[in-house]
Structure 1
Amino acid sequence: MNRFQVKKVAVLGAGVMGAQIAAHLVNVKVPVVLFDLPAKEGPKNGIVTRAVESLKKLKPSPLGVVADADLIGQANYEEHMEQLKDCDLIIEAIAERMDWKLDLYTKIAPFIAEHAIVASNTSGLSITKLSEALPEAIKPRFCGIHFFNPPRY
């Protein structure tokens, strides 16, 4: 039997859910890189940096060990798309807007590893409709994945 091994995960979207999913992954020592849009002002990873810093302050804590927030890799869609190639699992957790999700899938598709699973954390959008933005080779590896809010609890 061939088992799928998740050695590294990308989480797309550093909002409440995306950041807490990233925290949940580092809680079990899975390397994760958290992506978001480049900030319009200041450092380009500013959105992700603020999200990671806020994880340290939330109650109840999304982190088993607060210092583990520093293990979350920080990236933006403008400079770091190549990092997706190293990921075994890519979890999209952006806002529940079909047009935004479809646009993001089109942008990430060239950077998805041949073995990687791609998942959406959507709770209400059609997985079939979302998959239409992906190349045929990726569609069989696309699925829905759902984390309750907050993911750790």
Structure 2
Amino acid sequence: MLEDIGHLLVHANTLSKAKQITTFIYRHTLLINMIRKFANSYDLIRAGVTRFATSYLTLSRMHELKMILRSMFVSEEWLNSPFAKKSDGKKVENLGGDAKFWDAIVFCLKSVIPLVKVLRLVDGDAKSAMGYTFEAMDRAKEKIAKNFDDVSSRYKEYGR
């Protein structure tokens, strides 16, 4: 289900941009240390039950650390680093400052976090009853609708 949602245009673009940022940072030890310093030792990447859950949990973490990431990209430490002068670094810096990117993250999270919670429930060590799983899916659908102010045209793609 998350894989299918991940192929929707806004999700695919947003996940791709987030991956560019995380890949760039995690390829360079200096940048890993810099983000950890700014984020009080938090990491950008969060592990999940599946590869797609991990992608969305990472989006969630990026959203939590939005101001920290943006602060890092305007800090003296960043500006004095060799990465700020390279084209890849400038591209990542621009993504971090792009309001549309952050809005897209919020949109994506509104549509999938309720489903990720259900996935965690059914993947847990304790086996839940089928009825409880159906109830959790119903609640997830209701939460998605509520996240989009019950305007069905905004979330109908997720109801398949």
Alignment TM class, shorter chain as reference:
under 0.3
Q: Which has the higher contact order (CA 8 A, sep 6+)?
A: 1
TM-score when normalising by structure 1: 0.28
The structure that has the greater radius of gyration is 2
Bigger strand fraction:
1
